Amino acid sequence: MKIGVVTNAYHPDVGGVETHVRRLCAALAAEGDDIEVMTQASRTVVERIDGVLVRRFPLTVSAANYRFSLDLWRWLSRHAGRYALLHAHSYHALAALPAALTNHTPLVFTPHYHGTGHSLLRAALHPVYRPLGRRIVARSSRIICVTRAERDLLTRHFPEAEGRMVVIPNGTDPARDLVVPPEPGRSILCVGRLERYKRVDRVIRAMLHLDDEYRLDVVGSGPARVELQQLAFRLGLDGDRVVFHGRLGDDDFAARMAVATAVVSASAHEAFGMAVADALTAGIPTVASFIPAHRELAVLAGCGVPLWLVNPDDEVALADALRTAAGTARAATGRHALPTWSDVVLATREVYAAVLPRVPA
């Protein structure tokens, strides 16, 4: 069965959706499915990653928040019939539109839905975009949400899709067993695309309430990076107290995870919370914002996981939680109840089977 996966960006680009799509596609390919990813990039590239064929189509519009490739639209218009089904990702990017509007191939949609834009301009444009979003939702045979919180939010905005939604939580990978040299101090790790809604600024300000032995390691890139670096400089936290690592390769990121004494996510909204799930899988004490997705993740992980949910707007409370987490020993890996990517593959294949046309014996 050939499955065409349509996504705004793909590895080595980083982000929550990019991580989800890469892990899902790699797991499906490992189970023997023929997976072909169609995405957008600065130039045309056809390559194979993790056993997955990746087609990158050149961008017609390269603006960070409104990436658009006319060649991707043309490819799907002409070649969508070669796939048994299409699986499109992200309501908040334009790449899902050609998957829905250019062909009649069965469509599965994973919206990674936040309900709003991530800046004032994007939030203002969100209602304008909704009629197009409604067409994607109407075209989709099944809609996969990664939490019940995402499903409930999507149902409020698109009640007509309620009967076609299914919840499949993101999977987790076993933590890599690395031996790395110890580092001085206590590393607090913050991972994710640097957007304002991630509220990394609150974490930086909370560092003022922690002793000098605590260091914030920020991994990721994005439009808010310069603003965050300037904030750390104004607060006198640049240098050894707040370190911006940018994007890291798999090995370097695993090394950061290995030395972290705590992980923090202060995000204002998430569909799931991959950084929190990865930290809990590795047994790392974690502090997260008290949002629906993180609350649901805490329930999903089960009792006894080292997770503290706080309001990041209270910098003192956030600092206290970080101090407690960084002083807590790592939990034994495997104690959580989070699903693996093998679980996700099984559930996703059931969705695919329900969407594919019945073939008489």
Predicted pLDDT at 100: 95
> What average pLDDT does the segment 224-233 reach?
96
Task: Give the predicted TM-score (pTM) of the model.
Answer: 0.85
The answer, yes or no, to whether residue 327 has pLDDT greater than 80, is yes
Q: How confident is the model at residue 335 (pLDDT cuts 50, 70, 90)?
A: low
Q: How far apart are CA 47 and CA 58, in angstroms?
A: 14
Classify residue 348: in a domain, yes or no.
yes
Q: How far apart are CA 186 and CA 257, in angstroms?
A: 12
Q: How far apart are CA 33 and CA 24, in angstroms?
A: 11
Predicted pLDDT at 121: 54
Classify residue 332: in a domain, yes or no.
no
> What average pLDDT does the segment 9-15 reach?
86
Q: Are residues 66 and 141 in the same domain?
A: yes
> What average pLDDT does the segment 18-27 reach?
93
Q: Residue 254, Cβ neighbours under 10 Å: how many?
A: 16
Q: How far apart are CA 99 and CA 132, in angstroms?
A: 12
β 242-246/214-219 pair status? parallel
Q: Are residues 53 and 161 in the same domain?
A: yes
> Identity (one letter) of the amino acid at 4?
G
Predicted pLDDT at 303: 83
Give the largest CA-CA distance in the chain.
71
Classify residue 180: in a domain, yes or no.
no
Q: What is the DSSP letter of 65?
A: T
Classify residue 29: in a domain, yes or no.
yes
Classify residue 128: in a domain, yes or no.
yes
Predicted pLDDT at 148: 93
Q: Which two tokens stand for residue 340?
A: 């693996």
C-alpha 120, offset from chain centre: 21
Q: Are residues 109 and 26 in the same domain?
A: yes
Q: How confident is the model at residue 359 (pLDDT cuts 50, 70, 90)?
A: low
- Nearest by Cα to 266 from 315, 306, 325: 315
Classify residue 41: in a domain, yes or no.
yes
Q: How confident is the model at residue 358 (pLDDT cuts 50, 70, 90)?
A: low
Classify residue 181: in a domain, yes or no.
no
pLDDT digits (tens, 9 = 90+) for 178-218: 667 778 889 999 999 899 999 999 999 999 999 999 999 99
Q: Are residues 130 and 218 in the same domain?
A: no
Q: How far apart are CA 26 and CA 35, in angstroms?
A: 8
The answer, yes or no, to whether residue 338 has pLDDT greater than 90, is no
Q: Are residues 128 and 164 in the same domain?
A: yes
Helix-helix angle 274-281:16-30, to 10 degrees: 60
- Nearest by Cα to 169 from 358, 352, 346: 346
Report the CATH number at residue 235: 3.40.50.2000
Full domain range(s) for residue 191: 186-326
- Nearest by Cα to 136 from 167, 92, 166, 170: 92
Classify residue 333: in a domain, yes or no.
no
Predicted pLDDT at 290: 96
Predicted pLDDT at 16: 83
Percent of the chain with pLDDT over 90: 71
Q: Which two tokens stand for residue 331?
A: 């939990």
Q: How confident is the model at residue 12 (pLDDT cuts 50, 70, 90)?
A: confident
Total number of domains in the chain: 2
Q: How confident is the model at residue 331 (pLDDT cuts 50, 70, 90)?
A: confident
Q: Are residues 7 and 113 in the same domain?
A: yes
Beta strands in the chain (DSSP E): 2-6, 34-41, 45-49, 52-58, 85-89, 107-110, 142-145, 165-167, 186-191, 214-219, 242-246, 260-265, 286-289, 307-310
Adjacent-strand bridge partners of 87: 5, 108
C-alpha 306, offset from chain centre: 21
pLDDT digits (tens, 9 = 90+) for 33-74: 999 999 999 999 999 999 999 999 999 988 766 789 999 999
Q: What is the DSSP letter of 223?
A: T
Predicted pLDDT at 120: 56
